[in-house]
């Protein structure tokens, strides 16, 4: 009798002990049963996922992770086939709207007969690290681009100067109505296109200092839309917008304008003059603002989707392929990120996430 009591309290002590360990580890730990209901959640997991533990115990994992395909497939793997995963990156949208990047490992939980009865998910919050990694990668790319472009600007502009000088001289030396004048005009036009390209390369590669001030997004976007409409290049395009009133971000207004303009310009070019552009801005969470720019254009093929942010990737005859890399550079240097969703034949949406 006494022995049994001692044994029980020992078990209790062990339970308490593992509970203490579980609660004090820095990684998030969450366990689920076969029905994918949450059976344990430690303090770190609750903090990362921004839930109170008692609010989620016994509820479906989708309450904390949302309808996330990657997590759904990791769970299917571990609960059905016992396939455990290590350090998988999963991006989830929390209930408060914050996008969080998790580094996740899964382990199967088994009973004494070795039957799978649940799964443990162990995860850490990689959001800040990922942002830092993106910034380091971008600045590496920019340094190489910067060196290369300084060289291009210098060398090419010298040659271009000579060509331009000679073509002007030629133009003076031949009759004004000589057929050669038209060719000289074309040479000069091509030279200005080349000069524009060089200017764009330099503006992408130059590390601009971000001058942050509080910016009212509704005014900034409304002004931009008006400028595009007033320019009148695409009179048949329909514009619409929806903003949360008084929405502000701490940003460089000129750079923000440039980023949003580049996306709008691409949308206009893709739609070839017919269709709708919708701009939507709202607070995603207390720290995050979201701007969506959607068009009803032809969309971007899956093949192209992961290349559009690479410098010089273009599908346009006169494109530079620097518009979107510049957008990305601007948004990342504000501590934000850009994502794109596109359906062929339906349209494209670019989303900018910015810290407010
Ligand atoms: N809204 C859009 N709809 C369809 N394709 C797009 C859209 N935005 C960008 N793209 C694709 O991405 C490519 C890269 O865009 P960008 O970097 O601005 O360079 P450029 O406009 O000079 O081609 C474009 O050539 C186009 O193929
Ligand atoms: Mg462009």
Across the chain, mean pLDDT equals: 90
The per-residue pLDDT for 207 is: 57
Q: Is 314 in the pocket of ligand 1 (CB under 6 A)?
A: yes
| pLDDT for residue 353 | 94
Residue 126 has pLDDT above 60, yes or no: yes
pLDDT value at residue 108:
96
> Is 257 touching ligand 1 by the criterion CB < 6 Å?
no
Instruction: Please check the confidence at residue 2 and state whether its pLDDT lies above 70.
Output: no
Alpha carbon of 353 to ligand 1 centroid (Å): 19
Kindly give the number of the ligand 1 atom that is closest to the alpha carbon of 326.
17
- 316 touches ligand 1 (CB under 6 Å): yes
Contact 215, 155 (CB under 8 A): no
| Encoded tokens for 174 | 């031949």
DSSP code string of 289-342: EEEEEEE-S----HHHHTTTTSTT---STT--S-HHHHHHHHHHHTT-EEEEEE
pLDDT of residue 176: 93
By mean pLDDT, which of 149-158, 184-193, 242-251, 302-311 is the weakest?
A: 149-158
Res. 247: pLDDT tops 80: yes
Nearest CA, atom 13, ligand 1 = 314
User: Is the entire prediction scored with pTM above 0.95?
Assistant: no
Using the atom order of ligand 1, give the atom closest to the CA of residue 271: 3
Any idea which fold 213-355 has?
Heat Shock Protein 90 (3.30.565)
Q: What mean pLDDT comes out for the span 328-343?
A: 92
Evaluate: CB of 333 within 6 angstroms of ligand 1: no
Average pLDDT over residues 281-295: 92
Question: 324 CA distance to ligand 2 centroid (A)?
Answer: 6
**Greatest CA span in the chain, whole angstroms?**
120
Expressed in angstroms and rounded, the spacing between residue 229 Cα and the centre of ligand 1 is 20
8 confidence band (pLDDT: 50, 70, 90): low
Ligand nearest to the CA of 313: 1
Domain ranges across the chain: 2-125, 131-205, 213-355
The pLDDT of residue 185 is: 95
- Separation of 257 CA from ligand 2 center, angstroms? 14
Task: Tell me the percentage of the chain whose pLDDT exceeds 70.
Answer: 97
Taking the centre of ligand 2 as the mean of its atom positions, its distance from the CA of residue 69, in whole angstroms, is 31
pLDDT score for 1: 44
User: Residue 319: CB within 6 Å of ligand 1?
Assistant: yes
Q: Give the confidence band of 3 by pLDDT, cuts at 50, 70, 90.
A: very low
Fold for 2-125, please state it: Beta-Lactamase (3.30.450)
Q: Is the CB of 347 under 6 A from ligand 1?
A: no
DSSP one-letter code for 26: S
Bridge partner residues of 60 (DSSP): 37
- Closest-lying ligand 1 atom to the alpha carbon of residue 321: 19
Q: Is the CB of 311 under 6 A from ligand 1?
A: no
Average pLDDT over residues 339-354: 95
For helices 180-205 and 323-333, angle between their N-to-C axes, nearest 10 degrees = 20
- Domain at 131-205: CATH code: 1.10.287
User: Stretch 287-303: mean pLDDT, rounded?
Assistant: 95
The finding on whether 315 has its CB within 6 A of some atom of ligand 1 is yes
- Rounded to the nearest angstrom, the distance between the alpha carbon of 253 and the centre of ligand 1 is 23
* String of DSSP letters for 84-131: ---SEEEEEE-TTS-EEEEEEEEEEEE-TT--EEEEEEEEEE-HHHHH
Q: Is 313 in the pocket of ligand 1 (CB under 6 A)?
A: yes
**Cβ of residue 297 lying under 6 Å from some atom of ligand 1:** yes
By the 10 Å C-beta count (0-12 exposed, 13-18 middle, 19+ buried), 16 is classed as exposed
Element spanning 180, H or E? helix 180-205
Convert the pLDDT of each residue in 12-56 to its tens digit. 777 777 778 788 888 999 999 999 999 999 999 999 999 999 999
Question: At 151, is the pLDDT very low, low, confident or very high (cuts 50, 70, 90)?
Answer: confident
Q: Which ligand is nearest to the CA of 196?
A: 1
Q: Indicate the SS3 state at residue 275.
A: strand
pLDDT at 106: 96
131-205 with 213-355: one CATH topology?
A: no
């Amino acid at each position: 009798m006494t022995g049994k009591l001692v044994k029980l309290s020992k078990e209790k002590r062990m339970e308490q002990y593992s509970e203490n360990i579980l609660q004090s580890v820095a990684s998030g730990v969450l366990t689920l049963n076969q029905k994918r209901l949450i059976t344990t959640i430690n303090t770190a997991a609750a903090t990362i996922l921004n839930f109170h533990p008692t609010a989620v115990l016994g509820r479906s994992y989708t309450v904390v992770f949302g309808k996330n395909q990657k997590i759904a497939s990791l769970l299917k793997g571990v609960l059905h086939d016992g396939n455990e995963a290590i350090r998988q990156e999963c991006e989830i949208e929390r209930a408060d709207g914050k996008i969080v990047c998790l580094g996740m490992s899964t382990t199967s939980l088994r009973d004494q007969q070795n039957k799978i009865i649940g799964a443990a998910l162990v995860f850490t919050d990689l959001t800040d690290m990922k942002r830092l990694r993106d910034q380091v990668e971008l600045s590496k790319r920019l340094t190489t681009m910067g060196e290369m472009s300084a060289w291009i600007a210098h060398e090419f502009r010298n040659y271009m100067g000579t060509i331009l000088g000679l073509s002007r001289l030629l133009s003076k030396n031949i009759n004004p109505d000589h057929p050669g004048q038209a060719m000289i005009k074309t040479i000069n036009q091509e030279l200005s296109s080349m000069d524009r390209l060089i200017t764009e390369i330099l503006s992408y590669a130059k590390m601009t200092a971000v001058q942050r001030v509080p910016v009212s997004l509704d005014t900034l976007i409304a002004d931009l839309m008006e400028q595009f409409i007033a320019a009148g290049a695409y009179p048949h395009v329909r514009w619409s917008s929806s903003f949360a009133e008084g929405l502000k971000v701490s940003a460089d207004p000129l750079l923000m304008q440039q980023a949003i303009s580049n996306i709008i310009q691409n949308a206009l070019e893709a739609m070839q003059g017919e269709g709708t552009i919708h701009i939507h801005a709202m607070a995603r969470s207390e720290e995050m603002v979201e701007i969506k720019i959607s068009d009803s254009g032809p969309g971007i093929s899956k093949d192209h989707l992961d290349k559009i942010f690479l410098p010089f990737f273009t599908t346009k005859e006169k494109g530079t392929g620097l518009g979107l890399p510049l957008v990305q550079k601007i948004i990342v240097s504000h501590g934000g990120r850009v994502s794109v969703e596109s359906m062929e034949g339906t349209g494209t949406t670019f989303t900018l996430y910015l810290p407010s």
